[in-house]
Amino acid sequence: METDVGMAAWRTFLTAHARVTALLEDELQRERELPLTWYDVLLHLREAPERRLRMTELAAAVLLSKSGLTRLVDRMYAAGLVNRSPDGDDRRGRWVMLTPQGKKRLREAGPVHVRGINRHFIDYLTPEAAQGMTEALARIVEAAESER
């Protein structure tokens, strides 16, 4: 691939991600008073076995540093959306669990978030473009994960 074309794709990807993420954040905050990062944490916990993850697993899933996640989870705990407990198998580890209040907030915010994804992203893709994008990004993710 020509370098200029590849760099244009990269810059456009970054710009699109930043703009759409900002729109999704604004909508969730305005309509449900829920930051996008909180929504992301709640979603990962809801999808996890037993609705819980170790802090290290959660940090990898939401792409935050451990210190950034600790502060985020502290705020979510204070709001009653998650609980924390020690990991019995690893004294240094901690579990983060979804609470009923967290599940309720996620359920309330879900339609706002899905509407935003459709409006700001999916509506601009043909099925063919979506398939091509999915395949290309999956290859990039796979390659990046194999280098870690």
Residue 118 lies in a domain: yes
Pairing mode, strands 52-54 and 82-87: unpaired
What's residue 2's pLDDT? 75
Residue 88 inside a domain? The answer is yes
**30 lies in a domain?**
yes
Question: b/e per residue, 76-113, with b = 16+ CB within 10 A?
Answer: beeeebbeeeeeeeeeeebbbebbeebeebbeebeebb
- For residue 1, being part of any structural domain is answered with no
CB 62 within 8 A of CB 40: yes
Instruction: Enter the tokens of residue 43.
Output: 């979603």
133 assigned to some structural domain: yes
Domain assignment present for residue 65? The answer is yes
Q: Tell me how many domains the chain contains.
A: 1
List all residues 6 or more positions away from 85 whose beta carbon is below 8 Å from its beta carbon: 94, 95, 97
Mean pLDDT confidence for 86-110:
90
CA torsion angle 85 105 31 133 (round to 10):
80
**Has residue 1 got a pLDDT over 70?**
no
Quick one: pLDDT band at residue 44, thresholds 50, 70, 90?
A: very high
2 assigned to some structural domain: no
- Whether 48 maps to a domain, the answer reads yes
pLDDT at 87 over 80: no
Residue 71 has pLDDT above 90, yes or no: yes
Answer whether 85's CB lies under 8 Å from 77's CB: no
Name the token pair of 61: 């899933």
CATH number of domain containing 14: 1.10.10.10
Domain that holds residue 75: 10-147
